[in-house]
Amino acid sequence: MEQAIMNNLSFPILSTLIFLPVAGAALLLLINRSNENLIKWLSLIVSIAAFIISIPLFTEFKKSTHLMQFTERHAWIPSLNINYHLGIDGISVLFVLLSTLVTILCVLISWNSIKAKAKEFYISILIMEGAMIGVFCALDFMLFYLFWEAMLIPMYLLIGVWGGPNRIYAAVKFFLFTLVGSVLMLVGIIVLYYQAGGTFDILELSAKTYPYKLQLWLFWAFFAAFAVKVPMFPVHTWLPDAHTEAPTAGSVILAAVLIKMGAYGFIRFSLPLFPEASKAMTPVMLALSVIAIIYGAVICLAQTDLKRLIAYSSVSHMGFVTLGIFALNLQGMEGGILQMINHGIVTGALFLSVGMIYDRTHTRQIADYGGVASAMPVYASSFMILTLASIGLPATNGFIGEFLIILGGFKASQWAGVLAATGIIIGAGYMLWLYQRVFFMETNQKVAGLADINLREIITLLPMIILIFWIGVYPNAFLGFMHESVKHLLERVNSGSMPEAGVTKNILEIIK
């Protein structure tokens, strides 16, 4: 196992991060449901503790190597060679940090808005956190799959129990979409297991080579799981429904972390396991990405519901991410990973913000707003910063990600770069229009006299706003984590020869 290095921390940090929230959830079970304050405070303390524990990942991470760090490995089911194997590298480390941060904000934003079944709500959130971190840390396929599916349950509950009027439809749709994709991936995992001679170890599997035909089949099996999660066009339709119906915290987790899993899966699995197939499928993936960018953006122009608009904008932004990844060059990939973080921060914060105003007005219809800037100046300023980050203004994080992606995308295919850049024009269009309709113009009667955001809400938004400028002004602090891992990954993908199978050729010709 040359692939992993042990780390200098004296305790198993990743296991702690996974199981601390789960233990917190178990503790919540013991508390009487009438003691709502204790439930809330305990959840907050657990989530803050997890975040504090995750900080060494940022400070102690060795940026000079692509190897797995903070690794743990124990035999779990020896008869099947399944291990409890954890570790993170430059690709996954930032996502763990994002997960721990976002969970705190989710607890804070739900403070006053979740009244019914508060206990179960916070249990779901904490279990969700453990599962999410598990997904990013797992280095054994069975363990990965376990966490991957475990995420579904709390999310399903969050939407289905605490959601809006159409929550059941949205929750079932979300569940079925993701499940169908995941099952195909499970088949793929089992095929890999036998092909590689009986191992589920992701690092071992990623070092082997597979026949091209098999790669192609497995690529599409994994694609089914990941594309749904991203979500890529045309399997994106669950997202607007899920986002719209989910409670604020659910939308935030969904936007900030959950939909990153798909793109993460492409990087962690599809590319190193099936390098030739990935390379061959690049034109298809680039085309789907560009369609998502433009399709998602144009559709935003016609939205009348705040959350639905932001949900569709996610489709567009995630199109940028997949474009960057499948550009298969350094700028595109780093831009793509950074943009995943950026999108988590910005869209997460946008959903937090929408939640804040929804708590006051109980409407998501854009037409019910207008002139909010007069009533709530602090809120208006922070929403403006989010808007600007969303449309990629320089000095915000969005610019760095989008610029690197378009640069990488343009290198890979001029058309992809040019078309993706048009998405930025439309992006400015729908976001500024949204901002105008909500915050500017004459004050709508329904929002006159609203109280500006309070200290708790400011604290909820502040970390995101700091990150927006931090990444925008000094992105090297974050890009620095990725360089080695991304370089290593691209070496693996680009070292293989490019097979010219009939299918590929035909697709290539159609695209050109």
Q: Considering the complex, what minimum distance in angstroms separates the CB of residue 86 from another protein? A: 28
| Cα angle: 345, vertex 355, 119; to 5 degrees | 95
Looking at beta carbons only, is 273 or 315 nearer to another protein?
A: 315
CA 3 to CA 5: how far, in whole Å?
7
Q: Considering the complex, what minimum distance in angstroms separates the CB of residue 248 from another protein? A: 24
The only residue of 302, 367, 498, 510 in contact with another protein, by rule CB under 8 A: 302
Here's the x/- map for another protein, 227-246, by CB under 8 A: it reads as -------x--xx--------
The only residue of 104, 357, 426, 493 in contact with another protein, by rule CB under 8 A: 426
The only residue of 15, 65, 443, 444 in contact with another protein, by rule CB under 8 A: 443
The only residue of 418, 498, 503, 510 in contact with another protein, by rule CB under 8 A: 418
Q: How many residues bind another protein (CB under 8 A)?
A: 61
Site for another protein contains 388 (CB under 8 A): yes
Residues with Cβ within 8 Å of residue 354, at least 6 apart in sequence: 248, 251, 306, 307, 310, 364
State the DSSP H helix or E strand holding residue 256, giving kind and residue range, or none if neither: none
CA 77 to CA 13: how far, in whole Å?
22
CB 118 within 8 A of CB 243: no
Task: State in Å, rounded, how far the first CA of the chain is from the last one.
Answer: 43
Query: Hey, which residues between 173 and 192 contact another protein (CB under 8 A)?
Result: 173, 176-177
The only residue of 33, 74, 166, 377 in contact with another protein, by rule CB under 8 A: 377
Site for another protein contains 373 (CB under 8 A): yes
The only residue of 5, 441, 501, 511 in contact with another protein, by rule CB under 8 A: 441
365: its two tokens: 């219809």
Here's the x/- map for another protein, 309-348, by CB under 8 A: it reads as --------------------xxx--xx-------------
The letter for the amino acid at 41 is W
Listed in sequence order, the DSSP H helices in 366-501 are 372-375, 377-390, 397-412, 414-439, 455-473, 476-495
Site for another protein contains 394 (CB under 8 A): yes
Here's the x/- map for another protein, 126-165, by CB under 8 A: it reads as ----------------------------------------
State the DSSP H helix or E strand holding residue 84, giving kind and residue range, or none if neither: strand 82-88
The partner residues of 84 in beta bridges, in order of sequence, read 74
State the DSSP H helix or E strand holding residue 77, giving kind and residue range, or none if neither: strand 69-77
The partner residues of 365 in beta bridges, in order of sequence, read 305
Q: Considering the complex, what minimum distance in angstroms separates the CB of residue 27 from another protein? A: 39
- Classify burial at 1, counting beta carbons within 10 Å of its beta carbon; exposed 0-12, middle 13-18, buried 19 or more: exposed
Looking at beta carbons only, is 154 or 296 nearer to another protein?
A: 296
DSSP 8-class letter at 86: E
Site for another protein contains 75 (CB under 8 A): no
Q: Considering the complex, what minimum distance in angstroms separates the CB of residue 72 from another protein? A: 31
419: its two tokens: 């078309």
Looking at beta carbons only, is 214 or 395 nearer to another protein?
A: 395
User: At which residue do the structure tokens 């990743």 appear?
Assistant: 14
Pairing of β 69-77 and β 82-88:
antiparallel
User: At which residue do the structure tokens 């996954």 appear?
Assistant: 92
Q: Considering the complex, what minimum distance in angstroms separates the CB of residue 433 from another protein? A: 7
Among 133, 12, 2, smallest CA distance to 65 is for: 2
Here's the x/- map for another protein, 479-498, by CB under 8 A: it reads as xx--x---x-----------
Looking at beta carbons only, is 4 or 271 nearer to another protein?
A: 271
CB 257 within 8 A of CB 102: yes
Looking at beta carbons only, is 487 or 492 nearer to another protein?
A: 487
Q: Considering the complex, what minimum distance in angstroms separates the CB of residue 325 from another protein? A: 14
Peptide bond into 231 cis (omega under 30): yes
Binding residues for another protein, per CB under 8 A? 173, 176-177, 234, 237-238, 295, 298-302, 329-331, 334-335, 371, 373-374, 377, 381, 388, 393-395, 399-400, 403-404, 406-407, 410-411, 414-415, 417-418, 421-422, 424-426, 428-429, 432-433, 436, 439-443, 473-476, 479-480, 483, 487
